A and B are shown apart, each in its own frame.
Chain A
């Protein structure tokens, strides 16, 4: 290719067809949760596509935490997120959660997420002990339901999550210093003023 872009000129010729893309080209989906500050709850930020949990973690780190503050990150396979019905207006999703018939047992722990306003993000509400996701939802209703309307609840089995380890906390050590990614590092005001004064003369 003859391009103005030197990088493009270095690209190899590719003659094999790329379409149609193989159906398996699409990887699995992983939900990404970020803690913006120490002491603040984790919140849902989006998804990455990856072939497994570990690579999802590695890829989510730069996709979601290279800008703004972050102290911790975790990812989970979307299929491991159990969701309640989505409600609206003054209808609380907790009112639609049925008590599962089987007796509650406390086999594992689940992370509970709340959607407090449609259009916003799901935010971590707390952790419950339960045997099944259904029981976790019922537990969450007991522990976290207040007068405030919640439109959607997610329950995620804690063991299914790839957390940030204690040593990995240092991954974000220099994040606050990366000013070159921040609007505040590009103050042109003085230069502009000096230029305008010169123009007037």
Chain B
């Protein structure tokens, strides 16, 4: 699962100047025709760099995203939930595996990416820097954070880079279980006891702001990404993705009788767009830069996992195989 709000590097207009104009034109025409780019094709350096950055952030978000829900694996109530949550969190790890592989086709090794994650050099989705206090927080993630992720991933699956699209096709197919499972959990909380309803309402109150942040800063203040849109690296603006999510899920939340903690949230019947209180983008930046409630714990857990697995990886080292870039 993953949000937009990727931090793309600032793009200088001259960064394409040193590319071969004929090759660049051929590359852009191919994307324009709707053909996918494959790893062995020529591509501008900027395209390669930004894709690595985006896919890598996505992969990190999966592996870190396994933690807030993983918190509840040992406590899920009843067999049905226990098995589903185990499988769901496992899928997140599986998605990381698929996405790292896709990023590797662009020339960065998985171990280098993991190194950049645990040293804090690369980012992951902000939403996972918040704690899951109760079972209901876990249900919120399973349903709504995954729902947000699917909005993004379905859009990105129509992007231009073949290996990323293939990974996303597979991921989206798997996510349909997550979404249904998450909604199922929340329906049971909604229709359960007063205490169960209250648990979810409280989770909703806690998670609404991070959920709005999930899609990234408002288009008014986010970096210009026209070239990335033209190259089908970025498939929609942050506001478009957020609006699509609100359109699909606010009615479903209201249907269950819960209150979304934003008095200004409403759909404008004329524009067809949702209006809401502007999210606190200073808070968003603060959390991205390490100031969220769980940033430290998330990275520390990854670091400990790496350290505990070190002897295993060392023992498995072999000169019979060698690292090579995946083919597709």
Q: Tell me the A residues contacting B by CB distance below 8 Å.
A: 1, 3-8, 11-12, 14, 16, 18-22, 24-29, 31, 44-52, 55, 63, 66-68, 77-79, 81, 83, 85-86, 88-89, 118-122, 152, 154, 180-188, 191-192, 194-196, 198-199
Instruction: Indicate with 1 or 0, residue by residue over B90-110, a CB within 8 angstroms of chain A CB atoms.
Output: 110010011001001000011
How far in angstroms is the closest Cβ of chain A from B184? 4
Say whether B30 faces chain A, with CB atoms less than 8 Å apart.
Answer: yes
CB closest chain-A residue, reference B190:
A195
Say whether B176 faces chain A, with CB atoms less than 8 Å apart.
Answer: yes
A7 near B324 (CB under 8 angstroms)?
Answer: no
Cα–Cα, bound, A11→B256 (Å):
38
How far in angstroms is the closest Cβ of chain A from B107? 13
Cα–Cα, bound, A196→B252 (Å):
12
Cα–Cα, bound, A24→B322 (Å):
9
B110 near A191 (CB under 8 angstroms)?
Answer: no
User: Which residues of A sit under 8 angstroms from B328, Cβ to Cβ?
Assistant: 44, 121-122
* Contact of B132 (CB < 8 Å), options: A4, A68, A122, A199: A4
CB closest chain-B residue, reference A68:
B173
6 tightest CB-CB pairs across the interface, nearest first?
Answer: A28-B321, A119-B36, A195-B191, A5-B71, A186-B184, A186-B180
CB closest chain-B residue, reference A28:
B321
CB closest chain-B residue, reference A30:
B321
B310 near A1 (CB under 8 angstroms)?
Answer: no
Instruction: Indicate with 1 or 0, residue by residue over B49-90, a CB within 8 angstroms of chain A CB atoms.
Output: 000000000000000000100110111000010011001001
The A/B interface has a contact count, at CB < 8 Å, of: 185
A19 near B118 (CB under 8 angstroms)?
Answer: yes
Given contacts A21-B115, A52-B320, A196-B255, contact A47 B101 (CB under 8 A): yes
User: Which residues of A sit under 8 angstroms from B109, Cβ to Cβ?
Assistant: 26
Cα–Cα, bound, A28→B190 (Å):
49
CB closest chain-A residue, reference B322:
A28
B115 near A119 (CB under 8 angstroms)?
Answer: no
How far in angstroms is the closest Cβ of chain A from B23? 13
How far in angstroms is the closest Cβ of chain B from A196? 7
Instruction: Indicate with 1 or 0, residue by residue over B304-328, a CB within 8 angstroms of chain A CB atoms.
Output: 1011101001101110111111111
User: Which residues of A sit under 8 angstroms from B183, Cβ to Cβ?
Assistant: 186, 188
Given contacts A4-B131, A5-B71, A86-B40, contact A183 B98 (CB under 8 A): no
Cα–Cα, bound, A121→B301 (Å):
35
A191 near B98 (CB under 8 angstroms)?
Answer: no
CB closest chain-B residue, reference A198:
B191
Instruction: Indicate with 1 or 0, residue by residue over B118-153, a CB within 8 angstroms of chain A CB atoms.
Output: 110000000000011100000000000000000000
Say whether B236 faces chain A, with CB atoms less than 8 Å apart.
Answer: no
Show 17 residue pairs from A and B whose CB-CB distance is below 8 angstroms, ordered by the A residue: A1-B300, A3-B297, A8-B301, A18-B307, A27-B318, A28-B318, A29-B325, A49-B110, A49-B323, A50-B321, A51-B317, A186-B84, A192-B255, A192-B256, A195-B191, A195-B256, A199-B257
B187 near A118 (CB under 8 angstroms)?
Answer: no
How far in angstroms is the closest Cβ of chain A from B99? 10
Say whether B204 faces chain A, with CB atoms less than 8 Å apart.
Answer: no
User: Which residues of A sit under 8 angstroms from B80, Cβ to Cβ?
Assistant: 180
B303 near A18 (CB under 8 angstroms)?
Answer: yes
Say whether B14 faces chain A, with CB atoms less than 8 Å apart.
Answer: no
B166 near A119 (CB under 8 angstroms)?
Answer: yes
User: Which residues of A sit under 8 angstroms from B324, Cβ to Cβ?
Assistant: 28-29, 78-79
B318 near A51 (CB under 8 angstroms)?
Answer: yes
Cα–Cα, bound, A154→B180 (Å):
38
B187 near A181 (CB under 8 angstroms)?
Answer: no
Cα–Cα, bound, A77→B309 (Å):
24
How far in angstroms is the closest Cβ of chain B from A183? 4
A119 near B71 (CB under 8 angstroms)?
Answer: no
